[in-house]
Amino acid sequence: MSDAPPPDSQPLLFDLTDLPIVRLLPAEPAVKPIEYPVWTDNKARFIMRYLRYFVFITKHGTYIDGFAGPQEECMADCWAAKLVLESEPRWIRHFYLCDEKKSQVALLDKLKAAQPEKASSGSKIVRDIHIHRGDFNTKVDDILRTGDITEKEATFCLLDQRTFECHWSTVKKLALYKKSQ
């Protein structure tokens, strides 16, 4: 008798007894989702703290936020533009806030209206807040033409986009701006 398999059977690639035993795991526990994305709140607070040190060193400045509306419109308390505008000391003089969405611009207008006219009591620093509705990739040219951003003006530009809204050419334009004046 031959050890060869019968011609109509298929050879096995592995021994079926070598397969792992599958054990069913208990169902995942029900966990209530977080109310607000933690990273958005933490990121906004990190930016605000960074800008605080920025103004301690520079004593002045311009803040540009290319995608300035809150990442989540329901999170009106923890977005970068709001935290930066409300941070102390209020030495940043020029603010350029841009967003494309009408509802975001409405929140920016409301934020602007809530700001005191002078930076602090007795201060001679007057802050100007400009809100631009539209695509930051095109609005950036208007912002750079204002004349506020000179070679000696300390400038912080935040490009915290929601997806892929910022073009590389815009980043390059901002990076090279002071060198090209």
- The pLDDT tens digits for 164-175 are 889 999 999 999
Q: What's the rounded mean pLDDT across residues 143-172? A: 90
User: What residue spans define the domains of the chain?
Assistant: 34-180
CA distances from 77 to 36, 50, 86 (A): 11, 18, 11
What global pTM score does this model have? Answer: 0.74
For 34-180, CATH number out of 3.10.450, 1.20.58, 3.40.50, 2.60.90 equals 3.40.50
Selection from 127, 99, 124 nearest residue 114 by Cα:
127
Over residues 53-73, the mean pLDDT reads: 90
Spell 24-50 as b/e; 16+ CB within 10 A means b: eeeeeeeeeeeeeeeebbebbeebbee
